[in-house]
Structure 1
Amino acid sequence: MKSELVEVCDFDPRHHTGGARAVQGKCSWHGSTCDKEVVASALVRDGGGETWHAVCRRALRALEATR
């Protein structure tokens, strides 16, 4: 299953309880390869269920294309 964007909201660290990178306001979608500013929290659904990610503008654009 391909990743699908479910919901987007302003960045809120409370959504990101499972990932230290996201809680710190760093892009959890691209991981350690991305130092861009986080612009939103995005709920993403894939084969493993739903997960909140802290996303940079580039990640958000890519996820919005899945809608």
Structure 2
Amino acid sequence: MAVLTKTPQEISHMSEADVANLATRLELDDYASPFEALQDWHLLRAIAFQREDLVKPYWHLLDIEAYDES
């Protein structure tokens, strides 16, 4: 399975289909090594910081929880 790496400029030009393909790979969890999965997870997280609108349907894959620091 090919793992994607993107620059911030490439992330800004990603489409909904690109993100859907990435999310599908993460959901299938069919990687040769855990490091490949981690790279895709980091890419999805990077997309979330720049293009949150594209990641909203896949937020559950990021496993980010809100918490109260007080």
Normalised by the size of structure 2, how large is the TM-score? 0.29
Judging by fraction of residues, say which structure has more strand. Answer: 1
Judging by fraction of residues, say which structure has more helix. Answer: 2
Larger Rg: 2
